[in-house]
Structure 1
Amino acid sequence: MSKRTLFQFFHWYSPGDGHLWNEVAEKAPYLSQIGITDVWLPPAYKGASGASSVGYDTYDLFDLGEFDQKGSVTTKYGVKAAFENACRALVDHGLRPIHDVVLNHKMGADEKESVIVRRVNSEDRTQIEDDDLKALAYTRFTFPGRAGKYSEFIWDKQCFSGVDVIEQPDEAGVFRLMNEYGEGQWNDEVDDELGNFDYLMGADVEFRNNAVYEELKYWGRWFSEQVPVAGFRLDAAKHIPAWFFKDWVGHMRDAVGTDLFVVAEYWHPDMTTLTNYLELVDKQLMLFDVALHHRFHDASKAGGEFDMRTIFDGSLVSSIPDHAVTLVDNHDTQPLQSLEATVEPWFKPLAYALILLREHGTPCVFYPDLYGAEYSDKAVDGSQQTVNMPAITCLSKLVEARKRFGNGPQSEHFDDARVIGFVRHGTEREPGCVVVMSNGGEGQISVDLGLGHSSTSFVDFLGHREGEITTDDSGRADFPTNGGSVSVWVRQDAL
């Protein structure tokens, strides 16, 4: 299945009622019908905040909603049996489950330990004090609710490279744990933001500890025996040494399947940085196109002042398309979240057309954009805000258009700063389409489709424009679009 379309089946504020796994099973038939091929599921294991955990505060990787830990048996998304059923439902409808993997840190330790740490300059992590400091830290994970089922591994201070809170003395900051790994230095092959971005949060996992390394490989094999696994989304790749994921992904492909789909969250817009990272991991995985997301954000804010001819400038999909997962928004960029850079609703149909219908890149559709979302949370200024993310009414049709008409070679019509378009020319057996959009007023592009399309009627599959466009004897026509809108023109006989 070469034409892959991902769907992120959650957002940061997905209702915490233990119902999400059931919803996955319920919606699987519809998602398959419109053309989704892969479903990215949230972290399935118990987080430190129990039933309210989105899943990125990893506590116990082996608790998939089965044990009474952190105040509940269920995770935010449901119990293990419902998770298993959701994954089976996806597979039964031809959809591939993509699982979110959070290996960088652990939170919610069960016991404190006596540790030796060194204070670290939080703005430059390469500046580590020379003096040892004796303290207490929450670094011992015994998982009493699970009582050794599936794994008897105990995580302790030898399994971590740093923490952000100590006691006796009581301090918060960044602290390098002094143990037998790394000679007091952070891991290399991580992002160089803040000097060295190994440390992110919680108890930071020490991948140089071979026992830890083997436990994480074992967990990957165990997990793939619990539920169907078609791939992984790897969290916090900036903070995990590239050599670890290079080995771990290779191991998982050997153990589970060579065709595993893997995309890493290396949240960086710079192509040199991303290219270097791909080299370090032997190009075994995909990366999210952060730069393109920010172009969409900027374009949606600037309106008609944005030059649409530059929309792909600096993007991953334009430079390394085979490794680009394109997106419009996700759970980190949505309103009130840490990387908030929301794409305005008026521009989202244009942005989705640009990732779903073009020849290159693997597009990812975000849950609130398909189904809508409403939630409340505290803003940066401390005020409580209610956010309404409206469903994009034409998004299901755009996904369907990708499945039906996103075929064949591509030619671009990026000649105007406001009105741009492209043609998918189809194949002998599969129809193509003409896509035209404007971030300003009403406009059109003139396209010569060739004699094979002479005197042919086209209609807007999205229904944004009424009526038909008919090509002349040579296969040429002017294809229009409304202002601030997008149209997908397809042969009427292809419907």
Structure 2
Amino acid sequence: MKKTHVLVSMLVLLAFNACQDRDENENLKKEEVHNKIVNVTSHDGRPFSTGSGSAAGKFVSGPGGGVLMQGFYWDVPEGGTWWNVVKDKLTAWSDSGISAVWLPPASKAQNGAYSMGYDPTDYYDFGNFNQNGSVETRFGSRTELEALITKAHAENMQVYADIVINHNSGGQSQANPFTGTNTWTDFSGIASGKFQRSYNDFYKNSYGNNDEGAFGGFPDLCHANPYVQDWLWGRDDSVGKYYKNVMKFDGWRFDYVKGFGPWVVNTWNSNVGGFSVGELWDSNVNTLEWWANNANSSVFDFAAYYKMDEAFDNGNLNVLNDDMMWKRNPYKAVTFVANHDTDIINNKVPAYAYILTHEGYPTIFYRDYEEWLNKERLNNLIWIHNNKATGTTSILYTDNDEYIARRNGYNGNPGLVVYINNSSSWQERWVETNWSSKQIKDFTGHSSWYPTTQGDKYVKIQCPPNSYSIWSLNQ
């Protein structure tokens, strides 16, 4: 949901520093690094999920986990072309190692062909009924949406639907005995004829005055009403089951979950299935973990998001030691650098290097990938994520300017060491790796070193200014 407090980031093109040799005569004491090791041990080291790109262009599962593409931004072009735009990019995304795409709300909303979908009227109108001033949605027709989903599945990619079930819009006025006024809660005339609603399906009503939260003055859907529950997830043609079984969506991004209890998502997941992630806009990791556990769902890691802003924009990499959702439970943490609502991180490429080398399910924002950042660099990070980013995480060194962490590997995969440098000069550190007497290399190409680890697994690595390097076995 577009928020009024969105902070618009500067569109920054980050320069990548050329590789260069450094004098290795400087000896740094290994004890200096060893004494600063912090282990993140709250989980068992299995890969979050599966995924890597194949030479044939179709996404094929691999050891490091999947990568999610947010396949839209706020106010994508009008005119019903967006589904085709995304469909035409799916093969390239799959070839790059993208495992899933998240689409904007697909059903007809109050503003018809002009709406981004967050003011839903008819959950079953995907651009095939003439209502709210148009047949197609802003993004296109039902036929085009179905073609997109079919193409994604042919590329072995999943498709996640953005689901807005906190509120509705576009109903007609009716007398409401619970408010003593007229309210815009008459949805009896929706074109699909499915999930017709009236005043008793919205707060306040016979079930109470309110739930956890309302948004923007829109009619607030009452999930306590068994009729609403039945149409959202219960009956065979409920919204959830129709999206999954007829439209073939594979999962859900739940909008504004602050507006209703986590039991709603939990019950949806139990009845419908599929991947799910909630938009709980809160930087408190305790709140995120509480919601994820009670919803039986992943949650966007806003705790990591705000820490990355402080780390990469304000020059304080020490805050990456702080608690985040991916450290609590990486299997329920979806990490991101920007999205359609909020884009406050200016120094984005190191932030992507962070989320694509650490645990959790990383998300790529469409405009970052297709318009604003260096696509080759992002593809390189996606490849590293899919092929090297396995196992638990150990933070090896931090100060204001430097951050070094190790992925400890899993099931024969060697893992990696990531080095992020916010300073204006090359930096070098001795670090403890996963590997004894092995040659390693920087898979980003930023360093031309090919050092060999000592018998005790220590090695000196380097990182260019205002950039990052990512090290693993030279194989």
SS of equivalent to 2:127: coil
Cα distance in 2, alignment partners of residues 472 and 58 from structure 1: 57
Counterpart residue identity of residue 301, structure 2: D
Given that residues 349 and 392 in structure 1 are in contact (C-alpha distance below 8 angstroms), is that contact kept between their aligned partners in structure 2?
A: no
- Residues in 1 aligned to 2:472 and 2:137: alpha-carbon distance in whole angstroms: 45
Q: Give the aligned partner of residue 40 of structure 2.
A: none
Tell which has more relative contact order, 1 or 2 (C-alpha 8 A, sep 6+): 2
2:423 to 433, 440, 451: 440
Count of residue pairs brought into register by the alignment: 407
Counterpart among 207, 218, 231 of residue 181 in structure 1:
207
CA distance in 2, matches of 1:51, 1:37: 29
Q: Secondary structure at the match of 2:312?
A: helix
- CA–CA separation in structure 1 for the residues paired with 2:241 and 2:219: 24
Structure 1 equivalent of residue 449 of structure 2: 468
Change (3 A) 1:80 1:450: closer
Residue of 306, 317, 338 corresponding to 1:294:
306
8 Å contact 2:436–2:453 — kept in the other structure?
Answer: no
Query: Which residue, out of 191, 195, 219, partners 1:203?
Result: 219
Deviation at 1:332, TM superposition (A): 0.8
In structure 1, the residue matched to 2:57 is none
Give the letter for the 2:210 counterpart: W
Matched position secondary structure for 2:462: strand
Aligned counterparts of 2:243 and 2:73: Cα–Cα separation in 1: 23
What is residue 164 of structure 1 aligned with on the other side? none
Structure 1, residues 334-374: CA drift from partner, whole Å, max 9, x if none?
Answer: 3xxxxxxx100xx212111211112x2111111111112xx
Residue 301 of structure 1 and its aligned partner are, at CA, apart by 3.0
Query: CA offset at residue 221 of structure 1?
Result: 1.3
Post-superposition shift, 1:427?
5.2
Q: What corresponds to 1:87 in structure 2?
A: 149
Percentage of pairs with the same residue: 28
What's the TM-score, normalizing by structure 1? 0.77
SS of 1:250's equivalent in the other structure is helix
Alpha-carbon distance, 1:212 to partner: 1.5
- AA matched with 2:115: S
Write out aligned runs for 1:1-400 (5 A): 1-2=49-50, 3-109=65-171, 111-116=172-177, 134-146=180-192, 148=193, 151=194, 153-161=195-203, 177=204, 179-182=205-208, 185-187=209-211, 190=212, 197-217=213-233, 218-253=238-273, 260-281=274-295, 284-303=296-315, 306=316, 308-334=317-343, 342-344=344-346, 347-358=347-358, 360-372=359-371, 389-391=372-374, 394-400=377-383
Distance 1:199 1:11, change over 3 A: closer
Pair 1:51–1:451, CA change in 2 (3 A): closer
Distance 1:55 1:271 in 2: 29
Q: CA deviation at 1:453?
A: 3.9
Secondary structure of the residue that 1:15 maps to in structure 2? coil
CA distance in 2, matches of 1:330, 1:464: 28
**Cα distance change, pair 267–440 in 1 and its aligned pair in 2 (3 A):** same
The alpha-carbon distance between structure 1 residues 13 and 392, as it changes in their structure 2 partners (threshold 3 A), is: farther
**Preserved CA contact (<8 Å) 1:408 1:427:** yes
TM-score, structure 2 normalization:
0.80
Structure-1 separation of matches of 2:85 and 2:111: 22
| Cα gap change, 1:408 to 1:58, in 2 (>3 Å) | same
Structure 1 residues 385-417: Cα deviation after superposition (integer angstroms, max 9, x where no partner): xxxx44565111101111122234543322433
Letter in 2 for 1:31: W
Runs of 4+ aligned structure 1 residues displaced above 6 Å come to none
- Could you list the per-position Cα deviations for residues 262-305 of structure 1 after superposition, in whole angstroms to 9, with x for gaps in the alignment? 11111111133233323433xx10111111111112223313xx
**What's 2:471 paired with?**
489
1:173 corresponds to which residue?
Answer: none
Q: Within 1, Cα distance between the matches of 2:287 and 2:435? A: 46
- Distance in structure 1 (CA, Å) of the matches to 2:133 and 2:281: 32
Answer whether contact 2:122 2:190 (CA < 8 A) is retained.
no
Work out whether residues 408 and 434 of structure 2, in 8 Å CA contact, stay in contact via their aligned partners in 1: no
Name the aligned partner's letter for residue 343 of structure 1.
I
What one-letter code is carried by the residue in structure 2 that aligns with 1:239? G
Query: How big is the shift at 1:199?
Result: 4.9
Aligned to 2:450, what secondary structure does the other structure show?
strand
SS in 1 for 2:314: helix
Q: The residue matched to 1:435 in structure 2 has which SS?
A: strand
Stretches of structure 1 lacking an aligned partner (at least 5 in a row)? 119-133, 162-176, 191-196, 254-259, 335-341, 373-388
**Is residue 35–residue 402 contact of structure 1 (8 Å, CA) maintained in 2?**
no
Note if contact 1:419-1:445 (Cα within 8 Å) is conserved in structure 2: no
8 A contact 2:280–2:299 mirrored in 1: yes
Residues in 1 aligned to 2:270 and 2:435: alpha-carbon distance in whole angstroms: 49
**For 2:270 and 2:75, how far apart are their aligned partners in 1?**
33
Pick closer, same or farther for the CA change 1:8–1:451 going to 2, 3 Å. Answer: closer
Relative to structure 1, the CA distance from residue 116 to residue 440 in structure 2 (aligned partners, 3 Å threshold; closer, same or farther) is: farther
Q: Which runs of 5+ in 2 are unaligned?
A: 1-48, 51-64
Per mean C-alpha deviation after superposition, the further-off stretch among 440-449 and 468-477 is 468-477
CA–CA distance in structure 2, aligned partners of residues 419 and 330 of structure 1: 26
Greater CA drift, 52-61 or 477-486: 477-486
Contact 2:416 2:472 in 1 (8 A): yes
Q: Aligned partners of 2:196, 2:349: CA distance in 1, in Å?
A: 49
Distance in 2 separating the partners of 1:213 and 1:206: 9
- Output aligned runs, 1:444-463, within 5 Å: 444-449=428-433, 452-454=436-438, 456-458=439-441, 460-463=442-445
SS at match of 2:133: coil
State the shift of 1:79 in Å.
Answer: 0.6
